[in-house]
């Protein structure tokens, strides 16, 4: 397997960003509709600066994009990055399903006295 270190670093940023419940909630909110950072900050019992930092982590991971509209910074969820994370999880699931299938084959061989069915 060829390792793409740039993609690995991007995947690490995505899963790091998703590891925090507040950031997951911010992402869900911005996937439903775009919001300015002030409106997002009002939703949480934390400072505006803290919400800005969470948004910055999401933006660095590519999970949200920010666009200036007048004086506002509008934040919108980025579905393409979520799809990439899903593809990675599906690859990992395929590996584990393959292992489970192999364990089933080994157990079947052993129950047949060590011969393949």
CATH number at residue 70: 1.10.10.10
Question: Using an 8 Å Cβ cutoff, are 75 and 34 in contact?
Answer: yes
Mean pLDDT of residues grouped by 10 in the chain (117 residues)?
75 96 98 96 96 98 95 95 92 82 82 64
At 103 the three-state DSSP class reads helix
What is the domain count for the chain?
1
**pLDDT confidence of residue 106:** 85
**pLDDT confidence of residue 105:** 80
**pLDDT confidence of residue 2:** 56
Q: Does 92 fall in a domain? A: no
Q: Does 24 fall in a domain? A: yes
d(CA 63, CA 43): 19
Q: Does 11 fall in a domain? A: yes
Q: Does 110 fall in a domain? A: no
Q: Does 106 fall in a domain? A: no
Tokens of 19: 């590891």
d(CA 104, CA 98): 10
Task: Supply the range of the domain harboring residue 24.
Answer: 5-87
């Amino acid at each position: 397997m060829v390792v793409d270190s740039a993609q690995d670093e991007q995947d690490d940023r995505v899963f790091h960003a998703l590891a925090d419940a507040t950031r997951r909630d911010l992402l869900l909110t911005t996937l439903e509709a775009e919001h300015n950072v002030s409106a997002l900050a009002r939703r949480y019992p934390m400072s505006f600066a803290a919400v800005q930092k969470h948004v910055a982590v999401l933006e660095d991971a590519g999970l949200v994009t920010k666009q200036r509209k007048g004086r506002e910074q509008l934040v919108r969820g980025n579905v393409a990055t979520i799809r990439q994370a899903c593809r990675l999880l599906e690859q990992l699931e395929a590996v584990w399903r393959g292992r489970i299938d192999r364990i089933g084959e080994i157990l079947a061989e052993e129950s047949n006295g060590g011969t393949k069915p």
